[in-house]
Structure 1
Amino acid sequence: MKVSNILKFASGALIVIASINAWPQTSESAATSTAPATEGGAKATRQANRALSKKVLHALAKGGVTTSRINVIAKGGAVTLAGSVSDATHIDKATEIAKTVPGVTSVKNALTFKEVGQ
């Protein structure tokens, strides 16, 4: 009697373990798990993001927006403008200028207006 209960418990445990290992993955996790995570690819992506950030900063400065308190964060073409400007009109102007930079796919503007000296 004890042996049959042990066998039932062991087979039940094996079924649970097998079903946990065969749990279905979402398409997102399956796609990311099959893509090789190479250091060279990640490094190239970071360099491309930095280069795009610099292009946007250069375009903002060339367009007349003071960039000393602006931080540009780029991730795969999506650009976020963060920081503050001393002229309220520069907030919308910065967004329009950033959209014109080649490689920018979207712009999120998180700029705030702050007078000089505050």
Structure 2
Amino acid sequence: MKILFSLYAMGRMEFVWGEDCLEFKPERWISDRGTIKHEPSYKFFAFNAGPRTCLGKEVSFTQMKAVLATIIHNYNVRVVEGHPVVPNASIILYMKHGLKVRVANRWI
């Protein structure tokens, strides 16, 4: 039997993430001591879990953190007003209309 999971739906399920599952709350990933809070791999299924976890998971997380830290440090990034932010329902999750943003150099 084959089962297909919707990563989009799993990321918004109240019984998995709680009553505030639809709210953008970065603090949900930070503990009271200010450290990163561990969440089981089975709750974030994009890299699979258990013995079949993606081999590149840690490398991709490290790269993502380095790129985001550089962007946040050097630029102001704002979503273009009125742009529809809608995910495309597919196996690979991406934005239906892209994500249009305005990027301004923070240091000019």
TM-score range, shorter chain: under 0.3
User: What TM-score do the two structures reach when normalised by structure 1?
Assistant: 0.23
| More helix as a share of residues | 1
> Bigger radius of gyration, 1 or 2?
1
User: What TM-score do the two structures reach when normalised by structure 2?
Assistant: 0.25
